[in-house]
Amino acid sequence: MFKKVREDLNAFKERDPAARSKAEIFLLYNGFHAVLFYRLSHWLYIHRRYFLARWVSQYAKFRTGVEIHPAAKIGRGLCIDHGTGIVIGETAEVGDYCLLYQGVTLGGTGKDTGKRHPTLEDHVMVGSGAKILGPFTIGSHSKIAANAVVLDPVPPHSTAVGVPARVIRQNGQKVDPLDQIHISDPVAQELCRLQARIAELEKKLEEK
């Protein structure tokens, strides 16, 4: 557990340009505290201290504004940036070195038993306010844009945007892993194409 805490601390230092030192992160960063509380509650949970595990997770929710079920499986180096409002469900799985912004939900779609929350593979970024709902997988190195609602699997090295989310292949193009803004919107692109076509047809009518 302590090794993972060190890796979480390093992840925050590497990914947050505002962080001046690891001491500042350890003492003052809400997102780091949420991950720290989760590590403790998960340890209690796997050692069958279920009530204590839930107590710690609920205290963490009150203290940090981040709710992570103690049964969720979270890998190394998770970075929660401005984590208020984040919810991670019981059967959710988060891979190594993922990045979550405020308001993210890794939730289910009903009261089904068994696996009902999403799985994030390694190096996934989820933008502010995004909702990922259901027992499917978000592939490694993928990006979920801010306020997207994802209801289907996302392949590795892809970007999902919109409501419901649509997938855009990156085709090897390098994108800043911290950038939530400069992400192509397929709906906006289609509207631009239609607008250009209308302008072209209007010009032809005027010429006649």
The pLDDT tens digits for 169-183 are 665 554 455 555 555
Residue 3 phi/psi, 5-degree rounding, is -65, -40
Q: Mean pLDDT over residues 119-145, rounded? A: 92
User: How far apart are the C-alpha atoms of 182 and 166, rounded to whole Å?
Assistant: 16
Residue 138: the pLDDT is: 93
Q: Start-end ranges of CATH 1.10.3130.10 in the chain?
A: 1-72
Total number of residues shown for the chain? 208
Every domain range in the chain assigned CATH 2.160.10.10: 86-183
**Residue whose pair of structure tokens reads 């780091």 in the numeric block:** 32
Structure token pair of residue 207: 């010429």
Q: What is the mean pLDDT of the chain?
A: 84
Tokens of residue 68, six digits: 């992570």
Q: Among the listed ranges 95-104, 129-138, 155-164, which one has the minimum average pLDDT value?
A: 155-164
Cα distance between residue 5 and residue 124, in whole Å: 19
Answer yes or no: CATH 2.60.120.10 is held by domain 1-72. no
Q: Which two tokens stand for residue 81?
A: 């940036």
Q: Which CATH architecture has domain 86-183?
A: 3 Solenoid (2.160)
The pLDDT value recorded for residue 183 is 59
Q: At residue 94, does pLDDT exceed 90?
A: yes
Print the SS3 string covering the chain.
Answer: CHHHHHHHHHHHHHHCCCCCCHHHHHHHCHHHHHHHHHHHHHHHHHCCCHHHHHHHHHHHHHHHCCEECCCCEECCCCEEECCCCCEECCCCEECCCCEEECCCEEECCCCCCCCCCCEECCCCEECCCCEEECCCEECCCCEECCCCEECCCECCCEEEECCCCEEEECCCCCCCCCCCCCCCCHHHHHHHHHHHHHHHHHHHHHHC
| Distance of alpha carbon 176 from alpha carbon 17, whole angstroms | 13
Task: Provide mean pLDDT across the span 18-31.
Answer: 82
pLDDT tens digits along 30-43: 888 999 999 999 99
Residue type, 70: P
pLDDT value of position 180? 56
Read off the pTM. Answer: 0.74
Question: Does 2 or 27 have the greater pLDDT score?
Answer: 27
- pLDDT given at position 181: 56
